[in-house]
Amino acid sequence: MSSFLFRHAVAAAAVALVAPTVQAAQADFNEVGRQMGIMLQNAHFARLPFNAETSRRFLADYLKELDPNRIYFTQPDVDRFQREYGDQLYRLLMQANSLKAATDIYRTYQQRVEAQSVAAKEILKENFDFTANESLQRTRKDAPWPRDAAEAKNLLRLQIKDALLSESLRRETLAKMAKEQGKPDPTADDRDPKEKVALRYERFLLNVRDTDEEDIADEFFSAVSRAFDPHTEYMSFREMSRFRDSMKNELVGIGALLAMEDDGATKISGIVVNGPADKEGSLKLNERIVAVDSNNTGEMTDILFMKQDKVVDMIRGKEGQIVRLKVEPPTGTTGTPKIVSIRRGKVEMKDSQASAEILEVAKPDGGKRRLGWITLPSFYVDSEGGEVRCSVDVERLLRRLNEEKIDGLMLDLRNNGGGSLEEVRRMTGFFTGSGPVVQEKNTLGQVQVQDADDYRPIYTGPMAVLIDKTSASASEILAGALQDYNRAVIVGASSTFGKGTVQQPMDIGAMLPFFANRERAGFLKATIRKFYRPSGSSTQLEGVAADVALPSITDSIEIGEKFLDHAFPHDRIRPATFAPYPKEKLFLSTLNERSQARVKASRDFGYLIADNARAKAKQQENKVSLNLDERRKELAGLEIERRERNAESRERFKAVQAEDAKTIKFLKLTLDDLEQAKAPHEFDPNKEDEDYVRVAKDEAADLDDSPKWPSGMDPAKREGLMVLQDLIEATANPPVANVAGQGTAVR
């Protein structure tokens, strides 16, 4: 399983792996809000004034936080909020009286959800006409608020109709695919579509009801802080624990990935290999947790329809303590519930650590070329004094790759959202040696230059960096510095994310009055500086542009800083003093000509470009048909295209795979290998990697008969390796003229 998919699963499934927490009497959140307001005014980079205009922004962002699709609040609700609180929230915040307004707005929201839940039950009793020419907006983020309850109910009816239509078509499609492939229909035991949709609304209602003062404060303070910029945020005690754990790639818990079922149970969707649950052995994939005894007291608490973060809170705890789980058999099977007792322990998220590969590629002259590939999922570090540091891990991998005498290096920063500024500062020096890495400007306009450590570079050979739109923050510092130094060729999506700001977590509890209760006061992660490349250009909004740009799936997705509310503008400062390498030694003209020729001839990139164009057209149209025949016709067209593509790709991939088998040898190098002094070991990149986590089989996903990428290399990775080889070749044999070519090997 790829590190990206694993990290995505952790985030989406609210994995029960987080650090211990202690439930205690909580702080006065009105006072917490006041102190947060003071900290924002004194510490935030923008120094926004607290006035009526800022207050209106607080309100708008809070309403967006609660009701992003504008389907619950009505225009009269919004008018009242603006009248009573629009110009006053900043005053209430500083008077330590903001929770009254936040609670009023939240309880109004809850009332609207309650009413819509009752309406949903009535609507689901209706017989829907799927021959009518009705439609629904794909997104209502910019739509007007419903005029009244009647319009809100009609929007609800359209959404329910879309949910029923989508669910019915999903089952129809999966049943057809299962029959064609001679496999069981994964939807055979599913609930009736109306029942399934009803359960979704019931779960949502129960989550909205299950809210205390701390939850409301979290929602409101988050909206207030993000009104300053997209990356300033209030973090509850629980969220800060998770943030710290994500930074150090080491968690305390049972080592299980959790997913919520329609009926309110919590399914085991993954088990971390050698984690506490795996070692205990009783917990199985797809089993369902229905009750938890968090402290091994003998009393079980029912968790059906409980908020996922609260389920996680109950399952997690201190290292060495036992948690008891009431577990039922997987959905669709019979059996007796059982009690499973697991002693909590540390869980290493090894799939989120740096790792390396060596690709031995045959050359036309009979020799071979050794290409190093380092994957870095994030710039992780244990900020609490532990030994976990990504720069140390990358240094060890890099030195070993040097011993393996690689001819070139690719650093893969795709899906790397950033992390520690100190780690990226140190790591940049591995490739550039000493010199400026990043410049930081504070709110007073003072600029401080951060240099790499004073030593010679570890790796001096040809190098490329692979990026996409999710490469952000620290990734952009590294890519930008390497580009400014002309040290590496940046390959991939048109640019990186565009986050050019620095945040610092601040303990709000430390700012409370002397005798105040500080428990669970939370933290303010505030933007305190902007960072700039050695060249003086900010990565803010614009990101780092690729030297060799490739079509990317992110081209059709609204991802990046420029799509976020209240983002800072791009700007420049004076360049730092540094000595770049000669740019002509990157041979960018030659690399681009060769890459563009390959991309133009690539069927896979051609498919991607066509898909992006279609996705953009749908975004602009912003409409979903609720007519069954129209939806079937659209799906039929997509299915024909899918079959044609799969048939073409299947045959082509066979030829590519056969050629890869002759010309490429894949070797893996992990941190465990280094620890055990093992040599890089050969592996099959086509096989799912379950070295670190076992994931429950998805029968619906198993019906997808699209051929897998040959040798596990998606088009961006394959073309990235081609660009790296072109760089190696040009470095060894500088071209006399820029002539388009096809490169060598890794076809």
* pLDDT tens track for 562-620: 999 999 999 999 999 999 999 999 999 999 999 999 999 999 999 999 999 999 999 99
CB–CB of 450/425 below 8 Å? yes
Assign residue 38 a region: left if phi > 0, alpha if psi is -120 to 50, beta otherwise?
A: alpha
Angle at 681 between CA 683 and CA 251, to 5 degrees: 85
Hey, what are 485's tokens? 């130094």
CB–CB of 254/234 below 8 Å? no
CB–CB of 531/502 below 8 Å? yes
List where CATH 2.30.42.10 sits in the chain: 250-348
Asked whether residue 1 carries a pLDDT value surpassing 90, the answer given is no
Asked whether residue 349 carries a pLDDT value surpassing 80, the answer given is no
Which neighbouring-strand residues pair with 348?
A: 250
> What's residue 371's pLDDT?
98
Helix (H) or strand (E) holding 362: strand 355-362
User: Which residue type does 716 have?
Assistant: A
Using DSSP's 3-state secondary structure scheme, residue 647 falls into helix
* Residue in the structure block whose two tokens are 């207030």: 224
Separation between Cα atoms, residue 474 and residue 423, nearest integer Å: 9
Asked whether residue 519 carries a pLDDT value surpassing 90, the answer given is no
Separation between Cα atoms, residue 36 and residue 526, nearest integer Å: 10
> What's residue 7's pLDDT?
33
Of the candidates 521, 548, 528, the one whose C-alpha atom is nearest the C-alpha of residue 730 is: 548
Three state DSSP letters for 250-303: EEEECCEEEEECCCCCEEEEEEECCCHHHHHCCCCCCCEEEEEECCCCCCCEEC
CB–CB of 388/248 below 8 Å? yes
Query: Which backbone phi and psi does 598 adopt, to 5 degrees?
Result: -70, -45
Which neighbouring-strand residues pair with 259?
A: 267
Which neighbouring-strand residues pair with 506?
A: 524
Of the candidates 65, 55, 113, 122, the one whose C-alpha atom is nearest the C-alpha of residue 86 is: 55
CB–CB of 73/63 below 8 Å? yes
Asked whether residue 10 carries a pLDDT value surpassing 80, the answer given is no
Query: Which backbone phi and psi does 549 adopt, to 5 degrees?
Result: -85, 140
CA distances from 354 to 200, 458, 694 (A): 38, 17, 20
> What's residue 346's pLDDT?
86
411: buried, middle or exposed (CB in 10 Å: 19+, 13-18, 0-12)?
A: buried
Residue 331: pLDDT band (50, 70, 90) is confident
Mean pLDDT for the stretch of residues 191-214: 92
> What's residue 606's pLDDT?
97
458: Cβ contacts below 8 Å, ≥ 6 apart? 395, 398, 399, 402, 430, 431
Assign residue 417 a region: left if phi > 0, alpha if psi is -120 to 50, beta otherwise?
A: alpha
The count of C-alpha atoms lying within 13 angstroms of the C-alpha of 218, restricted to the half-sphere facing its C-beta, is 14
CB–CB of 61/85 below 8 Å? no
Of the candidates 667, 699, 698, 701, the one whose C-alpha atom is nearest the C-alpha of residue 685 is: 667
Q: How many residues does the chain have?
A: 747
Separation between Cα atoms, residue 740 and residue 591, nearest integer Å: 8
> What's residue 671's pLDDT?
92
Mean pLDDT for the stretch of residues 123-147: 95
**How many other C-beta atoms lie within 10 A of the C-beta of residue 635?**
15
CA distances from 76 to 146, 148, 154, 543, 617 (A): 9, 7, 17, 41, 34
List where CATH 3.90.226.10 sits in the chain: 350-732
Asked whether residue 153 carries a pLDDT value surpassing 60, the answer given is yes
| Low-confidence winner among 275-284, 522-531, 679-688 (lowest mean pLDDT) | 679-688
Query: Which backbone phi and psi does 319 adopt, to 5 degrees?
Result: -60, 135
- Report domain 350-732's class: alpha beta
Asked whether residue 204 carries a pLDDT value surpassing 60, the answer given is yes
Q: For the residues of 17-72, what is the DSSP string, one character each?
A: -PPP----PPP-HHHHHHHHHHHHHHH-TT----SHHHHHHHHHHHHHHH-TTS-S
**How many other C-beta atoms lie within 10 A of the C-beta of residue 21?**
18
> What's residue 688's pLDDT?
63
* Mean pLDDT for the chain overall: 91
Asked whether residue 3 carries a pLDDT value surpassing 70, the answer given is no
* Residue in the structure block whose two tokens are 């945020």: 233
User: Do β-strands 463-467 and 408-412 pair in parallel, antiparallel, or remain unpaired?
Assistant: parallel
Hey, what are 665's tokens? 């040898």
Mean pLDDT for the stretch of residues 387-409: 96
Angle at 13 between CA 12 and CA 19, to 5 degrees: 105
* pLDDT tens track for 234-284: 998 878 877 777 776 667 789 898 998 888 889 999 998 889 999 999 999
Separation between Cα atoms, residue 505 and residue 234, nearest integer Å: 9
Separation between Cα atoms, residue 461 and residue 409, nearest integer Å: 7
**How many other C-beta atoms lie within 10 A of the C-beta of residue 629?**
10
CB–CB of 568/692 below 8 Å? no
* pLDDT tens track for 290-326: 999 998 898 999 998 888 888 888 888 888 999 999 9
Asked whether residue 16 carries a pLDDT value surpassing 50, the answer given is no
CB burial string 52-80: b at 16+ within 10 A, e below = eebbbbbbbbbbebbbeebbbbbeebbeb
CB–CB of 508/36 below 8 Å? yes
Percent of the chain with pLDDT over 90: 78
User: Do β-strands 408-412 and 368-375 pair in parallel, antiparallel, or remain unpaired?
Assistant: parallel
Query: Which backbone phi and psi does 381 adopt, to 5 degrees?
Result: -165, 150
Mean pLDDT for the stretch of residues 17-22: 35
CB pairs under 8 A, 24+ apart, for 726-734? Answer: 726/587, 726/590, 726/591, 726/594, 726/595, 727/408, 727/462, 727/463, 727/464, 727/489, 727/586, 727/587, 727/591, 728/369, 728/407, 728/408, 728/462, 730/587, 730/590, 730/591, 731/462, 731/585, 731/587, 734/587
Asked whether residue 414 carries a pLDDT value surpassing 50, the answer given is yes
User: Which residue type does 671 have?
Assistant: L
CATH of domain 250-348: 2.30.42.10
Of the candidates 6, 144, 159, the one whose C-alpha atom is nearest the C-alpha of residue 76 is: 144
> What's residue 493's pLDDT?
97
* pLDDT tens track for 422-464: 999 999 999 999 999 999 999 999 999 999 987 899 999 999 9
> What's residue 494's pLDDT?
96
More confident residue, 341 or 262: 341
Task: Give the predicted TM-score (pTM) of the model.
Answer: 0.90
